[in-house]
Amino acid sequence: MTKQHFSVSISAPRTPVVEKAAALLCRTVAERTGIRVERVPSGIAALDLALDSDAAPAEAFRIEDAALHTVRIAGGDARGLLYGVGKFLRSSRFDEGTFSPCTWRGGSAPDCPVRGLYFATHFYNWYHQAPIEEIERYIEELALQGCNTLSVWFDMHHYTGIGQPAAQAMLARLKAMLQAASVVGMGPALTLLANEAYADSPKALRAAGTGLGHYGVELCPSVPEGRRLILEWRREVLEAFADIDLRYIWIWPYDQGGCACGRCAPWGCNGFLKIGRAVAGLCRDTHPNAEIVLSTWLFDRKAHAEDDRGEFAGLDAALRQDASWVNWLMIDSHQEFPRYPLEHGVPGGLPALNFPEISMFGMAPWGGYGANPAPERFQAIWDRAGHLLSGGFPYSEGIFEDINKAVCLGFYWDRNRRAVDTVWEYAAYEFGPDAAENATRVVQRLERAHGHRAVRDSQTGELRHLLPNADPAAADECCALLRDAESRLPQFAREGWRFRILKLRAELDRELSVGGGRHTEFADACFRELAELYRVDPARTIASVRPPFRMGG
Ligand SMILES: [Zn+2]
């Protein structure tokens, strides 16, 4: 049944999250169809937003026919209602001037308690650069997908101290993101690196390089003055977030971080635990409600062939002695999920969260060629490791991995949900049901072609592109499928960034694979459009997150 009019009532108590759920519903319908949703009293609305803890547990919802002409979304609590609104919207159809409301009925409850995202707020990437209103809107859109936690990082190496105006501006920006997250029911979280430091940290106190990613300014916590400075700087950061009720604080080992000196090594089960425990104590002093997430990122990853640090085994032994200062372990790595927990279980028997690397894998620059969807990749990782996990925080450097975020949030909500089904639902919601089939096929083909790399010719200095997995015929087919879909897209979808980054990726795949990786004028224009969508600052955004357009000229 399509409608030119639509009305909503709120019978739930008017909390900020309930108000936000109603506002997002009205905004989405209005923006996508032009129909203004009327707010009317309960009993006469087409849709009623309710709370009913008998109908659904916390964070869960039911969508049901309540009366002759009224559909009811009943949340077990305010967040459940918000997620129910998300499901309602994703199952509706939006055309210019008509709205076809969701016909799905039933109940749904999340499987995993922690359904987070991690915004890497640095390098002048989108999170660093975009107007805060754009980021707040993105946070709201992620909440509609069931995301209930957001973590950010104050990347110290950009600054010389917390008092620097740029550092204060970044702290204000991070807090604005966490406040926006709270309004949509997300628990705010903060990432701390165990021994990170400011750009001008004292050279005599610096950590020994680990070969696993370092800014080169990190401090050695086994030097007493280094330890003192680490704790002083951590306390300053924690106190800067005093007005945010942090739900989780992460303590992070490597990349960037770590120290390979004789007194700290092996870092993951020695120096890291000593300083980590002291940092956890500071967290408890400053944020008593926060739970500690101890990360094991790059544990046992070999920096050298003969490397055998035994970090997971050492961590297991240490936590079995005393895990009183840790609530969760975070486990993941660049490529495969680490083997130790798969073979021996989670160290210390603690609950575990993952940190899917949805941004950087197999492409450089990250997101430089547009959307980087990889549902099969994340399905395979989830199939291997999902049974160990209570949720997680995908690692995000921008908006180009929006589909990968949806896939991961889909697993956290429903462990048995297939990634391809999430992609189809995403495409139906963002591009319209008529385009969902084509877009899903395009996503699958683009994933097979993934592996692009921009290089500079050593002779001429000219940009070239390596596409080892490219298939010109498949790329051509992707362009044809999207052109066919585009002709039927509603306006909101055609002009939206989600369709643009998918289409630009397909166009670039074709242009570059047909041309043997040559950097053409057409490719350069595509890269420039991506840079605009990513809010790139050519002077400051680092090459890793900047689409490879020609600089200057
Ligand atoms: Zn050290």
SS3 letters for 438-480?
Answer: HHHHHHHHHHHHCCCEEEECCCCCCEEEECCCCCHHHHHHHHH
Q: Residue for token digits 């807090």?
A: 175
Is the preceding omega at residue 266 within 30 degrees of 0, hence cis? yes
Structure tokens at 89: 């919207």
Residue 291 alpha carbon to ligand 1 centre in Å: 27
**Which residue, among 518, 526, 428, has the nearest Cα to 100 in the 3D structure?**
428
Bridge partners of 302, per DSSP, are none
Measured CA to CA, the distance from residue 300 to residue 303 in angstroms comes to: 9
User: 339 versus 256: which is more confidently predicted?
Assistant: 339
Q: What is the dihedral of CA 226, 300, 374, 106, to 10 degrees?
A: -90
- Picking from 354, 436, 421, the residue whose alpha carbon sits closest to that of residue 390 is 354
Question: Is the pLDDT at 43 greater than 90, yes or no?
Answer: no
238 has pLDDT over 80 = yes
Give the tokens for residue 454: 């921009």
Binned at pLDDT 50, 70 and 90, residue 201 comes out as: very high
- Report the C-alpha gap between 283 and 246 in whole angstroms: 10
Q: How confident is the model at residue 235 (pLDDT cuts 50, 70, 90)?
A: very high
- Domains (range + CATH), the chain: 7-108 (3.30.379.10), 114-355 (3.20.20.80), 430-545 (no CATH)
Query: pLDDT by residue (tens digit) across 466-503?
Result: 999 999 999 999 999 999 999 999 999 999 999 999 99
Q: How confident is the model over 382-404, as pLDDT tens digits?
A: 999 999 999 999 999 999 999 99
Residue 19 Cα to ligand 1 midpoint, Å, equals 51
- For residue 95, what are the CA distances in angstroms to 3, 22, 28, 431? 10, 20, 12, 11
The mean pLDDT value for 305-324 works out to 93
542 Cα–ligand 1 center, Å: 29
What would the mean pLDDT of 340-347 be, rounded to a whole number? 97
Query: How high is the pLDDT of residue 306?
Result: 75
Section 209-218 average pLDDT: 91
- What phi and psi values does residue 434 have, to the nearest 5 degrees? -65, -25
Distance 352 CA to ligand 1 centre (A): 27
| Tokens linked to 214 | 């370092």
CA angle 288, 292, 294 (to 5 degrees): 160
Report the alpha-carbon distance of residue 527 to residue 545 in Å, rounded.
12
Q: What is the mean pLDDT of the chain?
A: 96
- Answer yes or no: is pLDDT of 325 > 70: yes
pLDDT at residue 214, as a whole number: 87
Contact call for residues 208 and 267 (beta carbons, < 8 A): no
pLDDT at residue number 2: 64
Categorize the per-residue pLDDT at 513 as very low, low, confident or very high, splitting at 50, 70 and 90: very high
Cα-to-centroid distance, 205 and ligand 1 (Å): 9
Whole-number Å distance, alpha carbon 214 to ligand 1 midpoint, is 13
Rounded CA-CA distance 114/360 in Å is 23
The answer to whether 151 and 190 have CB atoms below 8 angstroms apart is yes
CA of 330 to the centre of ligand 1 (A): 23
User: pLDDT tens digit string along 152-163?
Assistant: 999 999 999 999
CA 326 – ligand 1 centroid, Å: 22
Beta bridge partners of 518: 464
Cβ within 8 Å of residue 384, ≥6 positions away: 336, 337, 342
**Joined tokens for residue 6:** 């639509």
Residue 440 has pLDDT above 70, yes or no: yes
What is the 206 CA–ligand 1 centroid distance (Å)?
8
Q: Quick one: pLDDT at residue 248?
A: 98
The tokens for 157 are 């190496």
Residue 1's pLDDT is 55
CA of 293 to the centre of ligand 1 (A): 22
Question: What is the band of 551 on the pLDDT scale with cuts at 50, 70, 90?
Answer: confident
What value does the mean pLDDT take over residues 267-284?
98
The DSSP call for residue 338 is P
**pLDDT of residue 323 exceeding 60:** yes
Amino acid at 383: D
Percentage of the chain lying above the pLDDT 90 cut? 93
pLDDT of residue 497: 98
Q: Rounded to the nearest whole angstrom, what is the distance from the C-alpha of residue 268 to the centroid of ligand 1?
A: 12
- Ligand 1 centre distance from Cα of residue 226 (Å): 9
Decide if pLDDT at 432 tops 60.
Answer: yes
CA of 319 to the centre of ligand 1 (A): 21
What the block records as the tokens of 376 is: 């099969």
- The alpha carbon of 322 and the centre of ligand 1 are apart by a number of angstroms equal to 23
What's residue 278's pLDDT?
98
- pTM of the entire structure? 0.97
Q: Report the separation in Å between the CA atom of 233 and the middle of ligand 1, taken as the mean of its atom positions.
A: 17
CA distance 436 to 450: 21
